[in-house]
Amino acid sequence: MSITKQCKLLSIPRSSYYHKAQRKWDLDDELLMQAIDRIYMEEPTYGSRRMLDELHKLGYKLGRERVRTLMRTMGIEPIYPKPRLSIPGKGHKKYPYLLRDLEIDRSNQVWCTDITYIPLGDTHVYLTAVMDWSSRYVICWRLSNSLDAAFCVECLEDALEREETPEIFNTDQGSQFTCEDFTGTLKAYGIRISMDGKGRALDNRMIERLWRTVKYDDIYVKAYETMDELYGGLDKFFAKYNTRKHQTLGMSPDQKYREIKLLKNVA
């Protein structure tokens, strides 16, 4: 019996099976990461040097190496073009970016995903989500206390069970999305794989905008202290996000997603 089936029978998230003990960060580090997160949401082009300057302005006393370590822990890096992006990393195949100049005008034409850092009391966790590009509809989301690929694969599999199979799936080049478990799932469904350039967040801009909305409309405001609070809060937030009017769309993401699907079926 596969691990996925075993976990379903036991009602255990598959990501729990792969759980690895997370390094215990002290409170000072957690507060620093929260400060870095806020700065990064405003200035995603800042690397460790400029991030250090901003932290010094806020009164923090630390060195660049510590800032670099914390940014790596959070899974963030500055946005800027990097050379020779087409060369794959050892053991992980990279795929070309397929969305350039592509008109995306229907549901399930393109899905996208990403991971973001979430402060939680005196610690932190990571959030991933699968979103329909055209309608901005959030199909599925998951939380994890580590950056392992398992919770991303679990989120993907859940999304594929809930909705129709997309034509293209876009991610960044993070190891969670280039691993065989993730790309193998996409290939098994016959989905074309698209990956944006390393460090180029605008290539996956829809999900980046979602993170900004999540953090400024919910995470920073609510300041959740426990995982239960965070789960409950995000569940309410995404339900509200999917059903409230989106300024650009002129309707809610849910309405747009269903409307485009209906038009497709009628045609």
DSSP 170-203: EE-S-HHHHSHHHHHHHHHTTPEEEEPPTT-GGG
For the stretch 178-231, pLDDT in tens is 999 999 999 999 999 999 865 455 567 788 899 999 999 999 999 999 999 999
For the stretch 156-177, pLDDT in tens is 999 999 999 999 999 988 889 9
Q: Which fold has domain 110-266?
A: Nucleotidyltransferase; domain 5 (3.30.420)
C-alpha closest to that of 256 among 68, 63, 33, 107: 107
Q: What is the pLDDT of residue 138?
A: 97
CB 108 within 8 A of CB 163: yes
- Number of neighbouring beta carbons within 10 Å of residue 178: 21
Each domain of the chain, given as residue ranges in start order, spans 26-80, 110-266
Cα(47)–Cα(59) distance, rounded to whole angstroms?
18
Q: What is the pLDDT of residue 258?
A: 87
| Tokens linked to 64 | 């660049």
* Identity at 77, one-letter amino acid code: E
DSSP 8-state code for residue 186:
H
pTM of the predicted structure, to 2 decimals = 0.81
Q: What is the pLDDT of residue 9?
A: 75
CB 191 within 8 A of CB 112: no
Q: What is the pLDDT of residue 88?
A: 44
Mean pLDDT over 141-153 rounds to 92
For the stretch 74-113, pLDDT in tens is 988 887 554 443 344 456 688 999 998 899 999 999 999 9
CB 199 within 8 A of CB 78: yes
Q: Is 108 helix (H, G, I), strand (E, B) or coil?
A: coil
Q: What is the pLDDT of residue 49?
A: 93
